[in-house]
Amino acid sequence: MNIGFLVVTVAVMLLVLFTFYSGVRLVPQGYKWVVQRLGKYHRTLPPGLNFIIPFVDTVAYKVTTKDIVLDIPSQEVITRDNAVIIANAVAYINILSPEKAVYGVEDYRIAIQTLVQTTLRSIVGEMDLDDALSSRDKIKAHLKNSISDDISDWGITLKTVEIQDINPSGTMQSAMEEQAAAERARRATVTRADGDKQAAILEAEGRLEASRRDAEAQVVLAKASQRSIEMVTAAIGEKEMPVVYLLGEKYIKSLEQISKSQNGKTIVLPADLPAAVKGMMGKL
């Protein structure tokens, strides 16, 4: 009898201890536990020591309250001008109401990833290729504003979203490189043509200036010759000898220059140089 009573007492004590242990919950910092009572949501346990009713209340979900980093997979996005680009992102979220996150959507991680992907496709689809590649901040701001209200219904706040990569697809990148090479070649051709044009203009202007200078020099020389002839004519009057002397001097200098030339030949001088000069004068 005493042994049986002792066994029952020990069993009761163990049952009490087990029941008490089942009713105590220590929630670690950075987490909140969602408690269901008989299959229905009852309350959310904060970090620290909490008590529940054993065998009636159960911890259904353990939800972190720390910031969660969601990697948004890469996807092909078509821009407004039908260019294909590859884009991916990363989202930082925080769960404010664990009960809404676990009961409002089947899997909030997949839901947010899908929402970011579809919204990103919609935003980029309204932009041209050049704008999409150079407007990360604009895409980021639009993306955050678009999905913040949607996920707030799940008790989740979007801290920030970042565009990791947004690049043309392989085919599009090759086409862009060919286009850039063609554009560089076109600019080089235009630059060379402009240079040749400027050089031709400068050369023509140089020839024009040289011709103008030569013409002016000829005018000056002609005026000098005219003045010289007038002065000589006024000086000698009707006298022939000074003229003969001057012509003879010019003639001698010309013969001297011809004799020094490499192509110079034998020169026959007239026997009577003054007579020859006078003859020339007479013909003039």
Contacts of 102 (CB under 8 A, 6+ apart): 34, 60, 61, 63, 108
Mean pLDDT of the chain: 80
Let me know: does 47 contact 29? Beta carbons within 8 Å.
Answer: yes
145 lies in the same domain as 121: yes
Q: Is the pLDDT of residue 112 over 80?
A: yes
Q: Is the pLDDT of residue 226 over 80?
A: no
Give the tens place of pLDDT for each residue, 162-202: 988 888 876 666 666 666 777 777 887 888 888 888 888 88
Residue with tokens 């003229």: 243
| pLDDT recorded at residue 224 | 72
User: Which residue, 64, 93, 110, sits at the end of a domain?
Assistant: 64
The answer to whether residue 150 sits within a structural domain is yes
- pTM equals 0.57
Q: What percent of the chain has pLDDT over 70?
A: 73
Give the tens place of pLDDT for each residue, 45-58: 999 999 888 888 88
CA angle at residue 190 from 186 to 192, to 5 degrees?
115
CATH of the domain at 122: 3.30.479.30
Largest separation between any pair of C-alpha atoms in the chain: 183
CB atoms within 10 A of CB 260: 8
Q: Name the domain count of the chain.
A: 4
Let me know: does 226 contact 218? Beta carbons within 8 Å.
Answer: no
CB atoms within 10 A of CB 52: 19
243 lies in the same domain as 196: no
Q: Higher confidence at residue 2 or residue 269? A: 2
* DSSP-based three-state secondary structure for 75: strand
Label residue 271 by pLDDT band (50, 70, 90).
Answer: very low
The span from the CA of 109 to the CA of 79, in Å, is 27
The answer to whether residue 264 sits within a structural domain is no
The span from the CA of 144 to the CA of 157, in Å, is 10
Q: Is the pLDDT of residue 95 over 60?
A: yes
The answer to whether residue 265 sits within a structural domain is no
Q: Is the pLDDT of residue 264 over 70?
A: no
User: Which residue, 143, 168, 193, sits at the end of a domain?
Assistant: 168
114 lies in the same domain as 163: yes
209 lies in the same domain as 164: no
Q: Is the pLDDT of residue 216 over 70?
A: yes
| pLDDT recorded at residue 283 | 47
Q: Is the pLDDT of residue 137 over 90?
A: no
41 lies in the same domain as 92: no
73 lies in the same domain as 161: yes
Residue with tokens 């990148």: 173
The span from the CA of 148 to the CA of 241, in Å, is 118
Q: What's the domain range around 217? A: 172-230
